[in-house]
Amino acid sequence: MNITINKERLLHDLNAVSRIGLGDHGSVTRLVFSIKELRSRQLLIHLMTQAGLKVHIDRIGNIFGRWNGGNPKAPAVLAGSHLDTVVQGGKFDGPVGVIGALEAVRSLKENKLPLACPLEVVCFVGEESSRFGFSTLGSSLVAGVVHIKDLANAVDAHGTKLEDILSSMGIYRDNLASLKRAAASVKAYLELHIEQGPILEAKNKRIGIVTSIAAPTRFKVVYTGQADHSGTTPMEMRKDALVAAAHLITYIEEASSEYSQMDKGRVVGTVGAMKIEPGVINAVPGKAELSVDIRSISAGAKERVARLVMDRAQEIAHLREIAVEILPIRDETPVPLDEGLLPLIKEICEEKGIAYEVMPSGAGHDAMQMAKITRAGMIFVPSKRGISHNPMEWTDPEDICLGAQILLETIVRVANEKT
Ligand code: GLV
Ligand code: MN
Ligand code: MN
């Protein structure tokens, strides 16, 4: 392949995106549907237009920038990721895949490389679950896998319901499937992403080729005890919801650890958010709401741990004579990626003499939804010390550029593959 990406332009545009939502200590915050996130999408539309791509935006705001290539009627190869972030996240989780895909397609278009099908650069809305507990929102709608029951408990910290936001965009209970992309119009989906884990760095590999993506089971546990005066209520007369929650949190760590070895399913369990009421120093907590996130590459192991946690949540409530409610958010199955794309990416790395690792992904990605309607493949680049969802998230610019180059070459081979 003698077409190379423009490294300077890629890093310049990546930097421009990361300045939107920049906060303390180099952190980046672009929560889904916030002004900052909208601005990052506007910038992308601008960059796509500048590159001469035909821009299509669907009702939720997913952006598709299309270059027709040789045969506009053929199913397109899609490549992209997301621009929304967690709260105080890093610069690379998501944008590397969107801007990397933009750079790859721009370079191919500039070089007028004849391709057998169109290419589309994609930016999916709301990949991160930080606001509503609901992940891969835009790609789930494109894959047609959003169900009414998934929306029931998707509420942000201020009480805004995801369902209300969707309604304001013309997406209602009875037309949730209307954003679904016809599978026949897509040839494959490719996503470049930072690894967000320590494996590539530890093994001194520059590229990861992803086999499967771990899926989460997510739910809220709400303990309701009784708010009381912290000075006058004797210990034996309290109904402290937060102490109940604390016992459950410790148990989640214990149960997940038991299944954390690779051969047991690599289960991870986290309580990353909690709401306490009344939440003041001089009152016994009357209500505690925990957000539980359990993930694994094994559906069976994940289900076992989720069941153990739910049973223990009930037991704790029973023992402490308080009420408990378990509110499901989303229960997903781990997703294998396409077995045909993997050897193709391997081959590209081998031809270039690049050390690669074939590995599963512990983090969620839009590719897990796109895999439900098309062949999906993912390319990872190393994360310094494995840190992500943190302002210290870092990937060597040379590795980002290499990832984008591998993406470009993968796009070309997939586009020209006979099916
Ligand atoms: C996405 O970043 C996730 O939470 O896995
Ligand atoms: Mn993320
Ligand atoms: Mn991501």
User: From the alpha carbon of 216, which atom of ligand 1 is closest?
Assistant: 5
CA distances from 13 to 6, 44, 92, 100, 109 (A): 11, 9, 12, 10, 17
Taking all residues of the chain, what is their mean pLDDT, rounded to a whole number? 97
Q: Whole-angstrom Cα distance, residue 377 to residue 21?
A: 29
CA distances from 224 to 132, 229, 275, 292 (A): 22, 16, 12, 17
Q: Which pLDDT score is estimated for 32?
A: 98
Q: How close is the Cα of 128 to the center of ligand 1, in Å?
A: 6
DSSP string, 90-124: -S-TTHHHHHHHHHHHHHHHHTT---SS-EEEEEE
Report the SS3 class of residue 251: helix
Write 256-263 long-range contacts (CB < 8 A, 24+).
Answer: 256/294, 256/305, 258/305, 259/296, 259/301, 259/304, 259/305
Task: Report residue 394 as tokens.
Answer: 């870092």
| CA angle 219–333–381, rounded 5-degree value | 100
Q: Which pLDDT score is estimated for 419?
A: 74
CB-based contacts of 172: which residues, under 8 Å, 6+ apart? 166
pLDDT class of 1 with cuts at 50, 70, 90: confident
Provide the whole-model pTM.
0.94
Percentage above 90 pLDDT, the chain: 97
Q: How close is the Cα of 196 to the center of ligand 3, in Å?
A: 9
Q: Whole-angstrom Cα distance, residue 196 to residue 268?
A: 15
Which residues have CB under 6 Å of ligand 1? Answer: 128-129, 135, 363-364
pLDDT class of 295 with cuts at 50, 70, 90: very high
pLDDT class of 151 with cuts at 50, 70, 90: very high
Q: Which pLDDT score is estimated for 2?
A: 86
User: From the alpha carbon of 293, which atom of ligand 1 is closest?
Assistant: 4
Q: Which pLDDT score is estimated for 50?
A: 98
User: From the alpha carbon of 365, which atom of ligand 1 is closest?
Assistant: 1
Return the best residue to mutate from 128, 361, 369, 388 for the ligand 1 pocket (most ligand atoms within 8 A of CB): 128
Return the best residue to mutate from 383, 389, 393 for the ligand 1 pocket (most ligand atoms within 8 A of CB): 389
In the predicted model, what is the mean pLDDT of residues 56-62? 98
Q: How close is the Cα of 312 to the center of ligand 3, in Å?
A: 32
Cα 24 vs. chain centroid, distance in angstroms? 23
Amino acid at 132: F
Task: Say if residues 271 and 252 touch (Cβ distance below 8 Å).
Answer: yes
Task: Say if residues 87 and 31 touch (Cβ distance below 8 Å).
Answer: yes
Whether pLDDT at 5 is above 90:
yes
In the predicted model, what is the mean pLDDT of residues 107-136? 96
Q: Whole-angstrom Cα distance, residue 304 to residue 282?
A: 39
Q: Whole-angstrom Cα distance, residue 100 to residue 104?
A: 6
User: From the alpha carbon of 196, which atom of ligand 1 is closest?
Assistant: 2
Q: How close is the Cα of 92 to the center of ligand 1, in Å?
A: 13
Q: How close is the Cα of 131 to the center of ligand 2, in Å?
A: 12
Characterise 53 by phi-psi region: left (phi > 0), alpha (psi -120 to 50), beta (else).
Answer: beta
Return the best residue to mutate from 125, 365, 378 for the ligand 1 pocket (most ligand atoms within 8 A of CB): 365
Task: Report residue 226 as tokens.
Answer: 């009784």
Q: How close is the Cα of 228 to the center of ligand 2, in Å?
A: 39
